[in-house]
Structure 1
C-alpha cells in the first residue's frame, strides 16, 4: 500500500456548489451539507500545508443541452440546476473558496473528461510533481467516484476522504467507499489526511 505524501498531493473538492448543497436547491444533497465542517477541515489543513486546493464546478447551459445523457436520466436538469452564470454554480460559503484556489468547470461526472484538470495537476506544483489526489465533495457515488476511478486509470494515487464526501444515501456512501478501498485507492478519514498534511508541512 502506498503512503500518503502531502508534498506531492492536491486537494480536489468536487461540486460543492450551492445547487448541490443548499436546502431546497434543485440537486440538494443533505449529507454534503452536513459534512461541510469536515470538508472545511481539509481545506484549512491543505492551505496550512501549502497543498493546492482545486474546486470543480458542474455547469449546464440554457442555450443548449451540453450533457444530453445526464438530462435524459434527470429531465429536471433541462430547465434548472447548475446554470452557467447563476449563483447555483458558486462554491458554498462554508468552504471559504478563494481567488487563489483553482477551479475546473466540467460537464460530465468525471472531472478529467474534457477539462483542464490533468494539465493543472501536471503543472500546479511543478512539472509532474503531483501524484496524489485527496478527493472530497459530492456526490460520493457519482462525480467523486467517477473522478476517483479516472484518476486511478491515469496512475494518480487516490486518497478518498470518507468523512468528507456526501452521497444521497448511507447505502450509496458505503458502496462507493467499499469499491474505492478494494480497487481504486485508499479511503482515509480526516484525522489520517490531516496528519499526513501536517507531516508534509514540517
Structure 2
C-alpha cells in the first residue's frame, strides 16, 4: 500500500533516523520460537535500505525485545504467548541477538525493550532527539517485525511524540498478509506515511 495517500509533510533526509525493530534470531530464523516468515521474505529489501541509509549518513538505531529467565518481565505478553514463559528472546542467548544480515556496526545504537512499544521505559526518545544534535531529528523510518505488533506500536508512539513516521511497506514483516495490510492502512490514514523501500531510497 503506497502511492495514493495524503502527503502531510515533506521528507527531509537530513533530519531522519532509521529504526530497525526486533530483527532478532528468535523472530527471523527458520523454526525460531516466534518465527515471522515475512520478515525473512523482506530481508533483502531491509538490507538494501539499511545500506543506503548508511551511505546517506542517517543514524541507525536498533531495538531488541528482551525477556528474562529469572522472572517474567512482561507477564501479560507471556500470558498471551505461553511458549515465551520458558524460552525466546532470553537475555544473553543467541536468539535475542540481531540477525547477522543486519548486524549493527560500531557507532549504531542498540536499545533493549520489554514492551511492544519501543519508546516505553527506554531511552529511545532521548536518543532520537539528540543523535544528530540537539532537537535535530524529526523523522523516524521504521523497518523490522512484527508489523502489527512492535512496529505499529512504536509507530503510533512516535506519532504521539510529534515525530514524523515513515513506515516502509516492504520492510516490515507481519504474521500474515491480512494483519500486515491492516497495519499499513491504519498507519497511512492517521499515523504516518507508508512508503515502499524503493520510494524511500529514491529520496535518499
- Measured against the shorter chain, the TM-score band is over 0.9
Deviations along 1:32-80, whole A, 9 cap, x unmatched? 0111110011110110011001110000000110000101101111110
Determine the structure 2 residue equivalent to 1:134: 141
Determine the structure 1 residue equivalent to 2:127: 120
1:104 corresponds, among 85, 99, 111, to 111
**Structure 2 residues without counterparts, runs of 5 or longer:** 1-7
Q: Offset of 1:96 from its aligned partner?
A: 3.5
Secondary structure of residue in 2 paired with 1:122: helix
Determine the structure 2 residue equivalent to 1:15: 22
CA distance in structure 2 between the aligned counterparts of 1:162 and 1:112, rounded to whole angstroms: 21
CA distance in structure 2 between the aligned counterparts of 1:96 and 1:87, rounded to whole angstroms: 13
**Structure 1 residues without counterparts, runs of 5 or longer:** 198-202
CA distance in structure 2 between the aligned counterparts of 1:171 and 1:3, rounded to whole angstroms: 29
Determine the structure 1 residue equivalent to 2:163: 156
Secondary structure of residue in 2 paired with 1:178: helix
CA distance in structure 2 between the aligned counterparts of 1:90 and 1:100, rounded to whole angstroms: 17
Determine the structure 1 residue equivalent to 2:12: 5
Determine the structure 2 residue equivalent to 1:147: 154
What is the TM-score of this pair, normalised by structure 1? 0.96
Q: In angstroms, what is the RMSD of aligned CA positions?
A: 0.7
CA distance in structure 1 between the aligned counterparts of 2:14 and 2:188, rounded to whole angstroms: 22
Deviating 4+ runs (over 3 angstroms): none
CA distance in structure 1 between the aligned counterparts of 2:63 and 2:139, rounded to whole angstroms: 17
Aligned residues: 197
Determine the structure 1 residue equivalent to 2:5: none
The answer to whether 1:24 aligns with 2:31 is yes
Secondary structure of residue in 2 paired with 1:164: strand
The answer to whether 1:38 aligns with 2:33 is no
CA distance in structure 1 between the aligned counterparts of 2:48 and 2:20, rounded to whole angstroms: 12
CA distance in structure 1 between the aligned counterparts of 2:122 and 2:188, rounded to whole angstroms: 26
Determine the structure 2 residue equivalent to 1:62: 69
CA distance in structure 2 between the aligned counterparts of 1:65 and 1:55, rounded to whole angstroms: 23
The answer to whether 1:174 aligns with 2:191 is no
